[in-house]
């Protein structure tokens, strides 16, 4: 038996803290459990004893008879540890803690929460909460919450939430919107059970068609991605992740670290797992209804059927914004529409039937559009018809929608005059929205889901295999040797120390992973620079070498295209002086000499270790304007080939690699390979907290790519 089974299929439930006082939450919990028509055993515990809802109230948990496998504790926080011990001795293996007063209140509450978890673990007991309002299964049925009635309608959308207050609001709102829920789980503080734990148990519920999540964070990012990836293959997952903006950001030295941020990490994680990210609560449930009630979308061609021109134009714009297109109607479809509609009606898409359109015309035209092979979905727009009731139109089109194998969404515009139509559509499980923009967004999410499933079907099974030429043993030796040198120099380091890798160490590391580099040579004098340049061959570039100057161009610490020894000697003195003037306190190690690379396009490739999701790879526009342009994309490392392609193609820098105006096509394949190799390096060595190649010079097609400059931070 799964350790979470008692939460979702309990044989008996005991309410610890059941109250006789109708103003107490313990009364509300007992009432909801009884009124939910739960078919298992229901038990109440309160030291005062007596009876409640014609059931005995036991003074102690030990007195509760079988069957009982789930406890819901609604007692003050201080009494929870003792109650958990009693539950454990009684043999219960699942408990919901409804009380607040734990980690959210400070150090003392956190200690109490830890104590509760330790008690539970000693009895092999799983906990939901603290600070949980409980859980609901409308089909079992079971309502183990203290929320005011009525509860949610029985339906097919599950909701997992970090916030109990959001649960209460969603239940009431969903009921008002006429759609039902299957399961609801309030996770609270997640002392034990978290969002990743409940995904699979909720997804295995046969009544659940879509899972929605309200997330304030995730406990274990990689585990969440692993669980969500499996669930999303079977059922759509929609997440509303809040807390997008932060009042401050830690100081970071690399562009990658500065641009990564938690939001890009979440976006990359959701994309990897197939989780659809909603921007608002309304959007999440708009999408959930479409995914639950519509057949799968098979293409991007949309037909719009309306009785007014303005809403049709609005819909056309919204369809394009959501990545879809207006379908080109077949000649046979146009001829059929012409036979049904007045001569002045528009037979183009959007199809404007005019204000006089009858319920019968709506139904006949909708049937024609759905039969057109160029049409993959239909948006039906229904402002209040002047000559007929909106309810009559709804009744006429619902049988057509139910018979179709293509999605139909309804933009039901208005308020009082459309209420009858609203009730008809909701009862028939046809997704209806107040404006065309929301209806188009719903079609857009059907397309997103279809694209995800198509990628699953086309993705090779072993795509995450290591690329040849990534020598992890050699790279480990390079890092170990460097750390030994640091320790031999009597410099104190521990796991919190951040070290900037010297250029020669970093370039050796990149080469160990098959990333082409133009070697840099560190020199300490102008004459040494000239001699090195002569040996390399002109032209060369000079760069200031300092662990305190991560962005060399900020201090005029780079000189390019130096063609002779005199230029090199003068250049050496110039950039050292520039560095001292700009950063008087900086440690100047010297200057690096590097042969100039052939011309090409410049991009940035980077990686950073994210606290939630581990290594995160980046690709985008390189050079000095990377943070200003913010033309970057992120993915969880290591990357699949498909993910690398998607990252590159989602940026302007990546699109330019295919050629643009006077820019010839560049060696995109080599840039893609560098991205894959750098992502693998970051995944293999979590101690590399930040890793960046900027710029990566991408040469013309079939000529390769070179790392011209790079930096990395290593955690001691």
Question: What's the per-residue H, E or C state across 621-679?
Answer: ECCCCHHHHCCEEEEECCCCHHHHHHHHHCCHHHHHCCCECCECCECHHHHHHHHHHHH
User: According to CATH, what is the number of the domain 295-458?
Assistant: 3.40.50.261
Please name which of 134, 28, 160 lies closest in space to residue 71, comparing C-alpha atoms: 134
pLDDT at 488: 77
Rounded-to-integer distance, Cα 303 and Cα 450, Å: 18
Q: Dihedral sign, CA of 250, 269, 284, 144?
A: negative
pLDDT at 703: 95
Residue 184, helix vs strand vs coil = strand
Cα distances (angstroms) measured from residue 164 to each of 73, 147, 148, 434, 678: 15, 10, 13, 28, 42
Rounded-to-integer distance, Cα 96 and Cα 142, Å: 14
Counting beta carbons within 10 angstroms of the beta carbon of residue 56, is it exposed (0 to 12), middle (13 to 18) or buried (19 or more)?
A: middle
**DSSP string for 387-443:** SS-HHHHHHHHHHHHHH-SS-EEEEE--SGGGHHHHHHHHHTT--EESSHHHHHHHH
Counting beta carbons within 10 angstroms of the beta carbon of residue 690, is it exposed (0 to 12), middle (13 to 18) or buried (19 or more)?
A: buried
Please state the pTM of the whole predicted model. 0.89
**Residue 331 neighbours by CB distance under 10 Å:** 7
Q: Does domain 5-154+169-193 have CATH number 3.40.50.720?
A: yes
Rounded-to-integer distance, Cα 592 and Cα 358, Å: 79
pLDDT at 485: 87
pLDDT at 251: 38
pLDDT at 184: 97
Could you give the residue range(s) of every CATH 3.40.50.261 domain in the chain? 295-458
- pLDDT means per 10 residues, the chain with 716 residues, are 88 97 96 97 97 97 97 97 98 96 93 97 96 96 95 96 92 89 96 97 97 93 96 97 62 48 88 95 95 97 96 96 97 97 94 96 98 98 93 97 98 94 96 97 98 82 72 95 83 74 91 92 93 94 89 90 94 94 92 91 95 94 73 94 94 93 91 97 95 94 93 88
Could you give the residue range(s) of every CATH 3.30.1490.20 domain in the chain? 519-596
Q: What is the chain's percent helix, strand, coil content, to nearest 5? A: 40, 20, 35
Rounded-to-integer distance, Cα 127 and Cα 185, Å: 12
Query: Burial letters for 615-643: b for 16+ Cβ neighbours within 10 Å, e otherwise?
Result: bbbbbbbbeeebeeeebbbbbbbbbbbeb
Tokens representing residue 435 in the block:
């404006």
Rounded-to-integer distance, Cα 701 and Cα 417, Å: 62
Q: In what order do the strands lie in the sheet with 540-545?
A: 520-523, 590-595, 540-545, 558-562
Rounded-to-integer distance, Cα 376 and Cα 380, Å: 13
Which residues on neighbouring strands pair with residue 275, listed in sequence order? 237
Q: Does domain 519-596 have CATH number 3.30.1490.20?
A: yes
The single-letter DSSP state of residue 284 is H
Helix (H) / strand (E) containing 129: none
Rounded-to-integer distance, Cα 532 and Cα 520, Å: 10
Counting beta carbons within 10 angstroms of the beta carbon of residue 473, is it exposed (0 to 12), middle (13 to 18) or buried (19 or more)?
A: exposed
Rounded-to-integer distance, Cα 455 and Cα 214, Å: 26
Rounded-to-integer distance, Cα 497 and Cα 712, Å: 13
Tokens representing residue 40 in the block:
């298992």
Counting beta carbons within 10 angstroms of the beta carbon of residue 176, is it exposed (0 to 12), middle (13 to 18) or buried (19 or more)?
A: exposed
pLDDT at 244: 73
Query: What's 344-377 look like in SS3?
Result: CCECCCCEECCCCCCHHHHHHHHHHHHHCCCCCE
Contact between 20 and 49 under an 8 Å Cβ cutoff? The reply is no
The single-letter DSSP state of residue 448 is H
pLDDT at 467: 86
């Amino acid at each position: 038996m799964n350790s979470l089974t008692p939460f979702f299929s309990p044989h008996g439930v005991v309410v610890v803290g059941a109250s006789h006082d109708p103003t107490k939450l313990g009364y509300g919990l007992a009432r909801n459990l009884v009124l939910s028509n739960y078919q298992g055993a229901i038990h109440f515990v309160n030291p005062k004893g007596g009876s409640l809802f014609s059931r005995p109230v036991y003074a102690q948990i030990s007195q509760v008879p079988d069957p009982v496998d789930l406890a819901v504790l609604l007692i003050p926080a201080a009494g929870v540890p003792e109650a958990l011990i009693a539950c454990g001795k009684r043999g219960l293996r699942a408990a919901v803690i409804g009380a607040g007063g734990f980690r959210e209140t400070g150090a003392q509450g956190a200690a109490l929460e830890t104590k509760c978890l330790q008690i539970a673990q000693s009895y092999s007991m799983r906990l939901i909460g603290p600070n949980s309002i409980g859980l609901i299964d409308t089909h079992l049925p079971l309502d183990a919450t203290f929320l005011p009635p009525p509860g949610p309608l029985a339906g097919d959308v599950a909701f997992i939430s970090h916030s109990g207050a959001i649960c209460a609001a969603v239940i009431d709102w969903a009921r008002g919107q006429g759609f039902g829920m299957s399961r609801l789980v309030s996770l609270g503080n997640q002392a034990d059970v978290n969002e990743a734990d409940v995904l699979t148990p909720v997804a295995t519920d046969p009544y659940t068609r879509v899972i929605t999540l309200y997330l304030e964070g995730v406990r274990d990012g990689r585990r969440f991605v692993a669980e969500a990836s499996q669930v999303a293959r079977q059922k759509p997952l929609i997440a509303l992740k809040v807390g997008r903006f932060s009042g401050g950001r830690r100081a970071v030295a690399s562009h990658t670290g500065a641009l990564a941020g938690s939001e890009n990490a979440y976006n990359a994680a959701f994309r990897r797992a197939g989780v659809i990210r909603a921007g608002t609560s309304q959007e999440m449930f708009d999408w959930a209804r479409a995914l639950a009630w519509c057949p799968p979308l098979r293409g991007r061609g949309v037909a719009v059927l309306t009785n007014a021109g303005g809403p049709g134009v609005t819909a056309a714009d919204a369809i394009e914004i959501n990545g879809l297109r207006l379908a080109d109607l077949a000649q046979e479809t146009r001829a059929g529409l012409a036979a049904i509609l007045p001569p002045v009606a528009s037979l183009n898409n959007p199809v404007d039937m005019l204000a006089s359109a009858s319920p019968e015309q709506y139904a006949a035209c909708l049937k024609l559009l759905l039969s057109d092979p160029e049409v993959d979905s239909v948006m039906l727009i229904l402002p209040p018809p002047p000559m007929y009731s909106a309810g009559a139109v709804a009744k006429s089109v619902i049988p057509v929608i139910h018979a179709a194998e293509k999605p139909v969404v309804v933009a039901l515009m208005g308020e009082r005059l459309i209420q009858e139509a609203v009730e008809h559509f909701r009862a028939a499980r046809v997704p209806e929205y107040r404006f065309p923009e929301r209806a188009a967004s719903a079609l857009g999410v059907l397309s997103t889901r279809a694209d995800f499933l198509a990628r699953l079907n086309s993705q090779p099974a072993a795509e995450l295999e290591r690329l040849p030429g990534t020598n992890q043993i050699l790279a480990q030796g390079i890092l170990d040797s460097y750390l030994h040198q640091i320790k031999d120099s009597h410099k104190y380091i521990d796991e919190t120390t951040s070290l900037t890798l010297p250029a020669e160490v970093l370039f050796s590391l990149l080469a160990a992973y098959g990333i082409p580099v133009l070697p840099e040579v560190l020199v300490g004098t102008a004459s040494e620079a000239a001699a090195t340049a002569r040996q390399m061959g002109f032209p060369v570039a000079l760069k200031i070498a300092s662990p305190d100057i991560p962005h060399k161009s900020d201090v005029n610490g780079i000189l390019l295209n130096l063609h002779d020894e005199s230029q090199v000697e003068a250049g050496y003195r110039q950039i050292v002086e520039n560095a001292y003037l700009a950063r008087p306190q900086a440690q100047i190690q010297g200057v690096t000499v590097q042969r100039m690379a052939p011309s090409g396009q410049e991009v940035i490739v980077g990686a950073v270790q994210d606290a939630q999701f581990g290594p995160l790879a980046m690709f985008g526009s390189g050079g000095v304007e990377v943070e200003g342009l913010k033309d970057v994309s992120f993915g969880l490392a290591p990357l699949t080939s498909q993910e690398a392609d998607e990252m590159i193609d989602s940026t302007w820098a990546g699109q330019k690699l295919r050629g643009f105006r006077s820019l010839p096509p560049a060696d995109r394949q080599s840039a893609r390979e560098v991205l894959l190799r750098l992502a693998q390096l970051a995944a293999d060595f979590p101690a590399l907290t930040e890793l960046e190649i900027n710029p990566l010079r991408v040469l013309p097609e079939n000529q390769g790519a070179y790392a011209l400059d790079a930096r990395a931070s290593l955690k001691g």
